[in-house]
Structure 1
Amino acid sequence: MEPSPLTQDTRPEIFQPKIISLYETLFKEDDEEIELSAGFWQEFFLHRPDPTGLQRILSSVTPDEMLHQQAHSQALFSQAILRVKQASAPADEIALEYIQDCDDSTQVLPALYLLGLLTNYNKFEFQNPYRLRLDDFVNDAIIQDMVACFGNTCTKLRDAYVAVQDDMPEGWSLGSTLSYIGLGALAPSSRPTTPVPAPDEAKSLFAALPGPEIGVLLSTYDFANANKVFCFNLVKSAPADKNEPSPLSAYLSLTSYMFQHAHRSTRAALYTYLSLFVLQILVEDRELAKRLCSDESKLSVRLCRQRQPYLPAVRGDRVPAAVILDMMSDAISHNLRRRLDVDFYILCLGVLLRLLSHLSRTKTRITYHWSELWRTLLSFVRFLTTYESDIKSNYKSNGMINILVNLLAFALSSGENFLPDPASYDDLFYKLVESGDTLIKFRDTFGLSGQSDSMQTLINVSSHYQSLLESNGKARSKHLSPQEVSAVIKQGYETLPIDASEGLDRWEKFREADFKSLLKKIARAAVEDAKALNDDN
């Protein structure tokens, strides 16, 4: 009997679905210029997706390799969209499975992270197709999943700061009451506390934060800058669990911790800029700002209290705008250095100016400890005056000083539109009178005499009340009480020369091109964090 011409191939040890080999062709080819034929895509969309296999292959691809092979990933999505439009079974149904939303946060995070990296790849050099796609992306379900994922990630990153130093203020409880009257030994066991590390160890731990997941902030920024639907979802999304913070609350909480530790590393500072970009985009949009100031949007936010000085602890829900005011005040107080990060302060002051401008224009009065904000701004004036030689060495310092002076003058001239009561307005005037000598020295130090109408307004108001207080004090032959000072301030309104506030709150809309070099540095930092995250997994 003659042997059969047919031969039997060796049976493979493991049978591999055809789609896996197609994935490998798509994402593991060394040459990005390889041409994926029409036949390849026809076969590709005849096979059901294998999410587990795809995730396994993608996890072995480094961020650099993914960027290098971006043409293939772009082709995957464009081909999937094409087949959905063609509505030819079964390819259209299979293609839809490729572009639908992920099942849970653990799957959304790497996809959202990767989207941020791809969107920023050479986006200032050519029209990046991913960036263009963000503009008209309106799938609410997917956007809500992304916002929820971002919120969960923020909570995880914030908790890493708390793990180093638990800064939650004690509530007024039976235990704290007994301790207050000296009977702390009788108090029931309090909540567990985090062991406090040694100062050097804490410094090292804080310097490593935030964790590599923070790279997802880059995707969030790109969506916020391009897509108003995303912004509205970020602002209005409720938490999945009533005991959990909303995505906006989680984001604001993390940002407050980042602000207090922004000085610890260049990497931390870069992500802090990115968060400030997002805040600026939110507050300069009229509808979003209205929502941030609305009682319907009240939320509870855990703000960082890991470094002094502390702002008053506020329990319960507040409008997001009040939380943002606290965050900016904290940011100004906790990043004072002789080598001042002027860009950081320009952004912080800009957010304040935009918020106060909105409150004044809409005559919205929110509950807030305004005296703390005035104290912070005037303390910043004293700091700048003290370290004028260091500040002047930065060519951007003039822009920062102009914003600061305009902000104070605007509050002075328009405060009656947004401050809650006359006493709050009086307090602002009183603080300016107290700072009269500092304001004059500040004006002379930075050569603002005759150069800044806003600066002259502050000086005029301070001098006006100073002369009134001195004359009243002499008439009574004694120092004036706080009540008498308040009475003099009210009387002085009648003869107070305040120039019109027109133009003091002028600001320019956020333009990404103004921060091109900074965003390139942030994108490189995100790539490095993606590598670290991939190694951890």
Structure 2
Amino acid sequence: MEQSPLTLQSRPDVFEPKIVQLYRQLFREIEDEYKPEGFWRELFLLKPDASRLGQILDDTDADFLLHTNHCSQQLLGHAIATVRAGEAPSDEHALETLSVFLSKVLSKRYQSPSSDIIEVLAGLDNVDAVFNDLVGALDKAIMQGRTVHIQNMAVKVAMTVTSGAFHTSLLTYFTQRDLFPAMTMLILEAEKPEDGVLPFTLCGVLANCNKFEVHNPYQSRIASLTNEPTMSKLIGTIGSACVRLRHRYVAIQNDVPESWSIGGTLGYIGLGSLAGVKPAPVTPTEEEAKIQFSEQPLPEAAILLSTYDFVLQNKQFCMQLINELPSKDKPATGFSELCSFASYLLQHAYRSTRAALYSHLVLLILRIVVEEPTTMKKLTETTAEVRLCRQRQPFLPITKGERPFAAVLLDIAMDCLNHNLRTKLDVNLYYSTIGIMTRIVSHLTRNRTRLAYHWPELWRALLSFVRFLSQYREQLRSIADVEEVVQSLVNLITLCLTQGETFLPDTASLDDLFYKVVESNSYLEKLRDEYQLSKSAVGPNIDTLIGAGYHFTEAFDKAGGNKKNVYPKDVMKVIKDGYETLSIEAREGTDHWTPYREQDYKVEIKKITRVVVADAKILGTPQA
């Protein structure tokens, strides 16, 4: 009997999808130098397996990629051509493949990052053609993609490249071609505000590429934007992102007490099922909460860099940010939600370097807003109900209903002051915080605007900080620029003391400030001596504060203050009577502050940008 020409193939132990076999042929079983056209057509027709492709590339080192660069170059070239062709489903599959491939290749450690990455992806001779083609294909896919998913995938690929190659010369291809119209169009057409987070974040990353060294066209685009519907969509995107970022803090520790209900009462005694009450989420232990708080904020906080650039460069955007009020269609407004998230972020600023840098960034945003006279005026007039963080003591006073944004910002700054006191003091954080307070109070005094606010709480926070600085001078001695924080604090207290009559709503608030200054007189003296303030520019101001304390102490002694039982009301009476003999003058320059100039903060902005780029990389990474 003749032997059959058919041979029995041995059954494999594990069946492997065809797409994974193609990945192996590309990056493992390299036989041919160039793959035929049919290979690429099949690769992009099959649904990608992101996890397996990522796994194969994780096991591939940088040297191997350099040695077999023809494979990577072919993959990139054919993927770009497939995206440009725009045929389903290949264009979508090509974008998904590019997202994983570029993410892994750009995260490898190379000896010479710029030249090695160029060699792997394009080759030195073809880099201009390949990368101009890549950026052009992504621009077209973002602007004209068949589906919203394809448009978003193109944004993710662009985010992967810009964040992965941020410190290389490859970013020049993204600044030479303007993606701004495509990104703003995508945000404008987004069905939900959260869909605009990725393109808005990408805009911020591109706008900060070498902006201190060369002209950045995205900065010019941001400054020249005047379209109000687009701005409104951008502001809605900011609000939506801030709500999500705040919710993560609340998920770790819910700081809103539950109102009474029958269901809640039944749940408390273990009968919640009778009322159909959902079981409460498991509360993390103190140690678990500490770890979770240190991981905050979420990577979406990268959106703050874009917000910063828009607020800094575009005054119309800045005004519209404050003017946008909540409505039925838009319950989350940009500025109120930004303030709310800022209060949570700043209360936990000390937990990590990353959180501290994002805190610096949000304080810069708020500082820019309060420095502009027109927006600052709007902040005193526009009211909103803003949820503020109450996760750590001392708590802010409970307020109900709408309040002027100026009062909300004072609360945020005061809370930041109270909750980040460490002997390794974050000087930039405190300098910015006091700066925001000074700018608000300065505006109130110049315009004689009386702001309803719990001023005694602010006096307590400021003088507690005086006490801290005077008591821990030895530990703070090695910290650079701590003297600037001390001087700005003295200026602020002096401004409030000498100009209080122009902005405080009642005399009781001013009386309370004098009372607390008298009470803290010994700490003010120690502050003057420890930081040698008499020889500094604020010498007259510290003398004013200490002199006021002496004046009322003497008045109190004359009124029989040496008796055993002395009550606060007795002291307050002496303070009221002592005004007649008190002679203090408004010190020139106490309400002076230096306008924000980005060039002066170049080092800090670059540190912040590095953190944002790392988070943008996470946002661009495909989910397996």
- What is the TM-score of this pair, normalised by structure 1? 0.84
Alpha-carbon deviation of 1:238?
Answer: 1.9
Residue 619 (structure 2) pairs with residue 533 (structure 1): yes
The one of 190, 208, 213 aligned to 1:120: 208
Aligned pair partner of 1:485 in 557, 568, 571? 571
Q: Aligned with 2:328: secondary structure?
A: coil
- Give matches, 1:472-511, under 5 Å: 472-473=559-560, 479-511=565-597
Q: Structure 2: how far apart are the matches of 1:249 and 1:98?
A: 25
Q: Taking structure 1 as reference, are residues 187 and 270 closer, same or farther at Cα in structure 2, changes over 3 Å only?
A: same
Q: 1:385 to 1:17 in 2, by over 3 A?
A: closer
In structure 2, what is the equivalent of residue 205 of structure 1?
292
Q: CA separation of 1:423/1:529 partners in 2, compared to 1, >3 Å: closer, same or farther?
A: same
Find the counterpart in structure 1 of residue 362 from structure 2.
275
Q: Which residue of 2 aligns with 1:165?
A: 253
Displacement of 1:337 in angstroms is 0.5
Kindly indicate whether residue 250 of structure 2 is the aligned counterpart of residue 149 of structure 1.
no
Q: Does 1:443 align with 2:528?
A: yes
* 1:406-417 alignment runs, 5 A limit: 406-417=491-502
Offset at residue 193 of structure 1 (A): 5.0
Q: Structure 2: how far apart are the matches of 1:469 and 1:98?
A: 68
Verify the 8 A CA contact 1:409 1:457 in the aligned structure 2. yes
Q: Which residue of 2 aligns with 1:50?
A: 146
The alignment status of 1:255 with 2:342, answered yes or no, reads yes
- Would you say the 8 A contact 2:163–2:614 is kept in 1? no
Percent sequence identity is 38
Kindly tell me: are residues 187 and 461 of structure 1, through their superposed partners in 2, closer, same or farther at Cα, counting changes over 3 Å? farther
- The change in CA–CA distance for 1:450 and 1:473 in structure 2 (over 3 A counts) is farther
Report matched runs for 1:36-435 at 5 Å: 49-51=145-147, 52-61=149-158, 62=160, 63-64=162-163, 67=166, 69-74=170-175, 76-77=177-178, 101-104=188-191, 105-170=193-258, 194-241=281-328, 244-294=331-381, 297-435=382-520
Q: Distance in 2 between matches of 1:445 and 1:345?
A: 19
- What CA deviation, in whole Å up to 9, does each residue of 1:204-253 have, x standing for no partner? 11111100000010000011110011111211112343783422111111
Deviation at 1:55, TM superposition (A): 3.2
- Structure 1's 65 and 371: CA in aligned 2 closer, same or farther, altered over 3 A? closer
Counterpart residue identity of residue 122, structure 1: N
- Deviation of 1:483 after TM superposition, in Å, equals 3.4
Equivalent-residue separation in structure 1 for 2:176 and 2:535 (angstroms): 61
Aligned CA distance change for structure 1 residues 96 and 496 (closer, same or farther; 3 Å): closer
Q: How far apart in 1 are the matches of 2:396 and 2:187? A: 45
588, 597, 600: which is aligned to 1:514? 600
Q: CA deviation at 1:449?
A: 3.1
Mark the structure with the bigger radius of gyration. Answer: 2
**Alpha carbons of 1:436 and 1:174: their partners in 2 closer, same or farther (altered >3 Å)?**
farther
**Cα distance between partner residues in 1 of 2:588 and 2:278:** 53
- Counterpart secondary structure, 1:293: helix
Task: Summarize the Cα distance change of 1:207–1:225 in structure 2 as closer, same or farther, 3 Å threshold.
Answer: same
CA distance in 1, matches of 2:292, 2:496: 40
Distance in 1 between the 2:547 and 2:612 partners? 49
Partner SS for 1:399: helix
Q: Is the 8 A contact 2:156 2:621 kept in 1?
A: no
Q: Point out where structure 2 has 5 or more consecutive residues left out of the alignment.
A: 1-36, 47-81, 103-120
Q: CA deviation at 1:470?
A: 0.8
Quote the offset at 1:54 in angstroms: 4.0
**TM-score, normalised via structure 2 length:** 0.73
2:227 maps to a residue whose letter is N
Moved more, 511-520 or 52-61: 52-61
Deviations 1:342-374 (A, max 9, x none): 111000000000000001111111211100000
Whole-Å separation in 1 of the counterparts to 2:217 and 2:365: 22
Shift of 1:388: 0.3
Calculate the aligned-residue CA RMSD, in Å.
3.5
Preserved CA contact (<8 Å) 2:305 2:609: yes
Give, in whole Å, the separation in 2 of the partners of 1:225 and 1:154.
19
Given the superposition, is the C-alpha separation of residues 473 and 152 from structure 1 closer, same or farther in structure 2, using an over 3 Å criterion?
A: same
Aligned match of 2:554 in 456, 463, 467?
467
Instruction: Report if the CA contact (8 A) 1:19-1:49 is conserved.
Output: no
Separation in structure 1 between the aligned mates of residue 590 and residue 83 of structure 2, nearest angstrom? 66
For residues 297-316 of structure 1, the C-alpha deviation after alignment (integer angstroms, 9 at most, x for no partner) is 21111111111111211121
What are the within-5 Å matches in structure 2 for residues 16-27 of structure 1? 19-20=85-86
CA distance in 2 between counterparts of 1:228 and 1:123 reads 19
Check whether the contact 2:187–2:234 (CA below 8 A) recurs between aligned residues.
no
Would the aligned equivalents of 1:19 and 1:50 in 2 still touch at CA under 8 Å? Answer: no
Please tell me whether the aligned partners of residues 371 and 428 of structure 1 are also in contact (alpha carbons under 8 angstroms): yes
Size of the aligned set, in residue pairs, is: 502
Alpha carbons 2:184, 2:230 under 8 Å: kept:
no
